[in-house]
Amino acid sequence: MQQPQHQPDLGSRLAVSPPVTQTRSFLTVALIELWERFGYYGMQALIVYFMVQRLGFDDTRATLVWGAAAALIYVAPAIGGWIGDKVLGTRRCMIIGAIILSLGYALMGIPVSGTWLTFVALGVIVVGNGLFKPNTANLVRKIYEGDDAKIDSAFTIYYMAVNVGSTVSMLATPAIKDHFNATSGGDLGWHMAFAFCSVGLWVGLLTVGVLRRTVNHIGSPPDELPLDWGKLALVLAGGVLTVIASTFILEYQWLARLFVYVAGLVVLGIFIHLIRTSQASERAGLVAALVLTLQTVFFFIFYQQMSTSLSLFALRNVDLDFSLFGSHLFTWSPAQFQALNAIWIMVLSPVLAWIYTRSSGSRLDLSIAAKFALGFAVVAAGFFTYGFAGAFAVNGLTSSWIMIAGYGLYSLGELLVSGLGLAMIARYVPARMGGFMMGAYFVAVGISQYLGGLVATMASVPEGMTDPLQTLPIYTSLFNKLGLAAIACTFIALAALPLMRRLTAAHHAHA
Q: Which residue has the higher pLDDT, 133 or 103?
A: 103
Averaged pLDDT score across all residues of the chain? 83
Please report whether residue 7 resides in a domain.
Answer: no
Helices marked H in 185-252: 188-210, 229-251
User: Which of 190, 216, 251 is where one domain is finished?
Assistant: 251
Show Cβ contacts of residue 456 under 8 Å, excluding neighbours closer than 6 positions. Answer: 63, 67, 304, 305, 308, 309, 478
299 pLDDT higher than 90: no
Residue-wise pLDDT for 478-505, tens only, equals 999 999 999 999 998 888 878 777 777 7
Q: What is the band of 436 on the pLDDT scale with cuts at 50, 70, 90?
A: low
Q: What is the pLDDT of residue 10?
A: 43
More confident residue, 154 or 295: 295
The answer to whether residues 224 and 271 belong to one domain is: no
Domain interval for residue 36: 19-251
Position with higher pLDDT, 213 vs 22: 213
- Report how many domains make up the chain: 2
pLDDT (0 to 100) of residue 361: 65
Indicate if 299 and 191 belong to the same structural domain. no
Query: Which of 221, 251, 281 is the C-terminal boundary of a domain?
Result: 251
User: Domain holding 446: CATH number?
Assistant: 1.20.1250.20
CB 170 within 8 A of CB 41: yes
Q: What is the pLDDT of residue 18?
A: 57
Torsion angle, CA of 54/57/62/66, rounded to 10 degrees? -60
Candidate from 101-115, 206-220, 374-388 with smallest mean pLDDT: 206-220
Instruction: State whether 226 and 274 are in the same domain.
Output: no
Looking at the structure, tell me whether residues 419 and 321 fall in a common domain: yes
Judged against a pLDDT cut of 50, whether residue 136 lies above it is answered with yes
- The predicted pLDDT at position 488 comes to 93
Q: What is the longest distance spanned by two Cα atoms in the chain?
A: 98
pLDDT in tens, 139-186: 877 777 665 556 655 666 777 777 888 899 999 999 999 999 988 877
C-beta of residue 289 within 8 angstroms of C-beta of residue 268: no
